[in-house]
Structure 1
Amino acid sequence: MAQVKLGLKLAPVISSNRAKNDAQTVENDGSKLKFSVGLIADKTLSDTYFLSSGLMYLPKQVAFRNADGTVEEEYTIQYLQLPVTLKLFTNELAPDFKAYLQVGSGLEIKVFDEPGDPSFVTVEKFTPIDIPVILGAGIEYRAGINTTLFGGFSYQRGLVNVVNEAATGFGDLQLRSTIFSIDLGVKF
């Protein structure tokens, strides 16, 4: 019964962040479309419960501006994500179709960061990790004996302030990520 299914996942993501500081002088400065890709593994715990994990490449948008509009900054940060979630499946909704709910967390390790404009940098150093809460829902279609196609939506809310060191004058600058994604993939 302890079967493991491996697969590939591609997810267009809308990445933004939640920005604030002590003086309430910063705010979020928009979202960007990015693409996440990686390997997934679903381990059978019972007929309807699966432990899901993997290794995902996850780029994020970090952008903020001063409330008066004098400072606008954008950074690109890239992570390797190790998600650990529980997938809860329904019985078949139609032949070979099942729905699922997904809940869990993960560890994200920063592998790259770059400012959009290196001439003026407020965030001098980023935190090397992030830990998101992951919530999702979707459907799976068994397309053959060993092939399963899936599609769904997920929401990831970062819990860690990604700013480790900020320039003076910004107080306690806090940036936390928010991601909405469309999850598409195949398992073998």
Structure 2
Amino acid sequence: MKKLLFLLFILGSFGSMAQVKLGLKLAPVVASNRAKNQAQTVENDGSKMKFSVGLVADQTLSETYFLSSGLIYLPKRVAFRDATGTVEEEYKLQYLQIPATLKLFTNEIAPDVKGFLQIGSALEILVFNEEEDPSYTTVEKFNPIDIPVILGAGIEYRAGINTTLFGGFSYQRGLVNTVKEAEAAFEDLQLRNTVFSIDLGVKF
């Protein structure tokens, strides 16, 4: 909790600077994962829609370049099954995400409307995990962090002197194997997260 309050304080301090705009984001996300092991006997077991919410902070680097960060609550789903159907498991993971991305803006494509591309990465800190059926768990421990590549695009609409609405989508591809320890039969299990997100929000 102290770390969370410290991060919020830092973001608030940045927000007092004229070149930084703070905002709120709500994002429906489709969370899934890529599953594999050396014997290639496991596979992904579908995806699920969840909701992400958090603070965003965009700092001006130039008229068309912005450094975008924030503090985002991001739930994910890890689910896999083996080829025989004897193992079928689902885990709920919850992260605090601190993105570090670059936004590249176009000129106005309509009055007060600009498009943007977004590229970068993030540090994600695991704050909660739960197995859907705790009676049997293949994954004994998850990695405490994940680092995804983030690619996105969208538009911003200046609705007033100090208010900007934005909408877009992003693809987040996790690079870290979320499995830290697993039972002996699946000790080489690899699960990497994938998230598709529809990003909606407002900046002030």
Assess same fold via TM > 0.5: yes
Residue type of the partner of 2:48?
Answer: K
Query: Hey, what's the Cα distance between the residues in 1 that align with 2:83 and 2:166?
Result: 42
Give the unaligned 5+ runs of structure 2.
1-16
Deviations 1:101-122 (A, max 9, x none): 0000010000000000000100
Alignment of 1:3-14 (within 5 A): 3-14=19-30
TM-score (normalizing by structure 1): 0.99
Shift of 1:2: 6.3
Deviations 1:61-96 (A, max 9, x none): 000000111110000000000000000000000100
**Matching residue's letter, 2:35:** A
Report percent identity of matched pairs: 81
**Would you say 1:42 and 2:58 are equivalent positions?**
yes
Equivalent positions of 1:166-181 (< 5 A) are: 166-181=182-197
Aligned to 1:157: 173
Counterpart selection for 1:88 from 77, 91, 104: 104
RMSD: 1.0
Q: Which moved more, 1:12-21 or 1:164-173?
A: 164-173
The aligned length equals: 188
Match of 2:80 in 1: 64
> Does the aligned pair in 2 maintain the 1:2–1:43 contact within 8 Å?
no
**What is residue 201 of structure 2 aligned with on the other side?**
185
What stretches of structure 1 of length at least 5 have no aligned partner?
Answer: none
Displaced runs of 4 or more, over 4 A: none
* Amino acid in structure 1 at the alignment position of 2:89: E
Q: What displacement does 1:171 show?
A: 3.7
The aligned counterpart of 2:8 is none
Note if 1:78 corresponds to 2:78: no
1:108 to 106, 124, 133: 124
